[in-house]
Amino acid sequence: MTNLVTLFCAILTDLRAKIGAHLGRDRTYQAILTQAWARIGRTAQRFQRLYDRWQNGTLPEPRPSRAGQPRPARPARAYFPRRRAWLATTTDHHVRGHASQLAHLLARPDFGDFLAAVPRAGRLLRPLCHMLGIDVPAPILRPAKPRNPCPRPEPPPAAPARHGKYTPAQIRRYRPGRIPKPNPNAS
């Protein structure tokens, strides 16, 4: 299975090289692509460390959830675009080729076994899959958010719309006929 992590890191290294080449050609998205380049590098390093810890059996226990607790203020920073596959559509076809290779690697059953054993790997892979437009593998999918249990109140009945002295039905039925000539006898 060491081959899987080697393949994963090789794909991300090649992906970074293609993004770097695109940075030299197109300065329009330079800031955001530089951030994506750095993030992909950190993802590869963190994934390698996580895999090594899993192999050695030294993974720390998961921390308890901090849901609902106040969080410290974060410094302002630029965010990545929210649309799916933004990195693949912003850059050239080479990046989409590496995304396809990564999707194929994530679909392998032995990689799925690793993801099932180490669910915290999803925190690294979900943003990467979203950037590249890859379907997230089933073992690391987030559970769906619960729907709002309280029903919405029914809206009040709408008053009939009137446009001046005519109703919309009367306006729709109107057919202009021949315009009558003015009567010279009328004053």
Tell me if 92 sits within 8 A of 22, measured CB to CB: yes
d(CA 154, CA 94): 52
Q: What is the mean pLDDT of residues 94-111?
A: 89
pLDDT digits (tens, 9 = 90+) for 15-68: 999 888 888 777 778 888 888 899 999 999 999 999 999 989 898 888 888 878
Tell me if 6 sits within 8 A of 104, measured CB to CB: no
| Whole-number pLDDT of residue 43 | 93
Q: What is the mean pLDDT of residues 73-102?
A: 84
User: DSSP of 96-148, one letter per residue?
Assistant: HHHHHHHHHHHTSHHHHHHHHH-GGGHHHHHHHHHHHTPPPPGGGPPPPPPPP
Whether the pTM exceeds 0.85: the reply is: no
pLDDT band (50, 70, 90) for residue 103: very high
